[in-house]
Amino acid sequence: MMCSYERKIGFALGGQIVSPVKVGLLTIILISVASLVGAGARNQEGTRTGPRPSRAEGLAAWQQIYSVMSHPRCINCHTADGYPQQTDDRHRHLFNVVRGPEGKGVAALQCATCHQSSNADSTGVPGVPDWHLAPLSMRWQDANDKVLPSSAVCRTVTDRTKNGGLDGAALVKHHQTELVKWAWQPGLRNDGTARSIPPISYEQFIAATRNWTQARMPCPQ
Amino acid sequence: METFKLTVNGQVKEVTADPGTPLLWVLREDLKMTGTKYGCGIAACGACTVHLGGVPTRSCVVPVALVRNRPILTIEAMADDPVGRVVQDVWVSEDVVQCGYCQSGQIMSAVALLKSTPKPTDKDIEESMGGNLCRCGTYVRIRQAIKTSARQLG
């Protein structure tokens, strides 16, 4: 039996009137469940499975990510000017290659004029589908080709007005594209030696990206 | 060695070659199509330019195994190409060529530019043709010939 007061402020739930006491209890339970879910980590499918990494853990993960992003295999195509760079000394791309309107070169001198859908080890030309420069909004270098500090790159990567509108989940997906994966399978130079690869493995890079995004993408000051 | 079926200027050709052999050498040595020139072998000069699947491509650095089913167009097909025909005629009327060694690559790049950009600006020409070197220094005449071709193609 509910008193009239309970009836007046009671809620209709599933066609039945529920007392404020019950509503309060239900609310507490729902908030608790939501907090637990919110604090959880996500697995590859995006389902939370464990505790959310701390900010400190997120920052540590970011430093791992930055060690990859600042490696020549990645940063050579995140330039601040109208051309890509080449090799570990990051010199301006030879052969008068230019950025072009969409980061894929110009009409008669496209990226695809040399770069094919896979590495051409017999001739030393790297390749993967959709070879292109990152947009200028995603430059990770200054006008003198110096790599930007970790904090500045992090701000760029997390700014959705600059990064193509990517949220955390989309950033993880971006890091799983063939173009990004190529950095760990960059093929041979034309002298037959192997190109260098980033300092951590691809699996570590993806794990770091997940940890960082789960920690709400913290950036160093 | 592997056998590859290539569509060159509309004709299917079968060649047996090492998969890493550059397309340039398949064209020149196996198919005896010597209009495409060897200049540097490292994609630095543009003399070896062909169209691969419609994309101007440096044939000296593309292994034959990566051609796959994309059609190849070479300088030998330009006389029958509506844009190529005009460009070649203008090349003659403007007296572009000096020694001529780089000119098949120059024409292949010019045709690609005009097909993509029918009214190219000076900047378009400089950027697109920037990868084609000419040791005789015919650049000024090349630029003029591209502009004349654009006008004639209207």
What b/e readout covers B102-118, taking b as 16+ CB neighbours within 10 angstroms? Answer: bbbbbbbbbbbbbbbbe
Same domain, A122 and A28: no
Same domain, A173 and A92: yes
Inside any domain, residue A191: yes
Inside any domain, residue A20: yes
Provide the residue-wise pLDDT of chain B in tens; the chain has 154 residues: 999 999 999 999 999 999 999 999 999 999 999 999 999 999 999 999 999 999 999 999 999 999 999 999 999 999 999 999 999 999 999 999 999 999 999 999 999 999 999 999 999 999 999 999 999 999 999 999 999 999 999 9
- Backbone CA torsion sign across B114, B115, B118, B124: negative
Same domain, A25 and A119: no
- Backbone CA torsion sign across A52, A48, A162, A154: positive
Q: Is B21 on the interface with A (CB under 8 A)?
A: yes
The count of domains in chain A is 2
Supply the ipTM of this predicted assembly.
0.97
Q: Is B26 on the interface with A (CB under 8 A)?
A: no
Kindly report, residue by residue over A60-108, the tens digit of the pLDDT: 999 999 999 999 999 999 999 999 999 999 999 999 999 999 999 999 9
Kindly report, residue by residue over A203-217, the tens digit of the pLDDT: 999 999 999 999 999
Inside any domain, residue A48: no
Same domain, A17 and A104: no
Same domain, A116 and A26: no
> Across the interface, which of B18, B120, B130 has its CB nearest the CB of A109?
B130
Report pTM.
Answer: 0.86
Inside any domain, residue A45: no
B78-153 CATH fold? DNA polymerase; domain 1 (1.10.150)
Same domain, A93 and A201: yes
The answer to whether the CB of B52 falls within 8 A of the CB of B67 is yes
What distance in Å separates residue B101's CA from the closest CA in chain A? 18
Q: Is B42 on the interface with A (CB under 8 A)?
A: yes
DSSP letter for each residue of B56-102: EEETTSSBGGGTTT--EE-GGGGGGSHHHHHHHHHHHHTT--SS-TT
Inside any domain, residue A25: yes
The residue range of the domain holding A74 is: 55-214
How is domain B2-76 classified at the architecture level of CATH? Roll (3.10)
Same domain, A25 and A128: no
What distance in Å separates residue B98's CA from the closest CA in chain A? 22
Inside any domain, residue A41: no
Q: Which two tokens stand for residue A181?
A: 């994966």
Inside any domain, residue A47: no
- Are B124 and A117 inside 8 Å of each other by CB? no
Domain parsing of chain B, residue ranges: 2-76, 78-153
Residues from chain B that touch A97, judged by Cβ atoms under 8 A, are: 131
Backbone phi, then psi, for A40, in 5-degree steps?
-80, 160
Chain B interface, best mutation among A119, A122, A128, A188, by max B CB count within 10 A: A122
- Are A121 and B129 inside 8 Å of each other by CB? no
Our measurement of the distance from residue A9's CA atom to the centroid of its chain's CA atoms, rounded to an integer in Å, reads 48
Inside any domain, residue A49: no
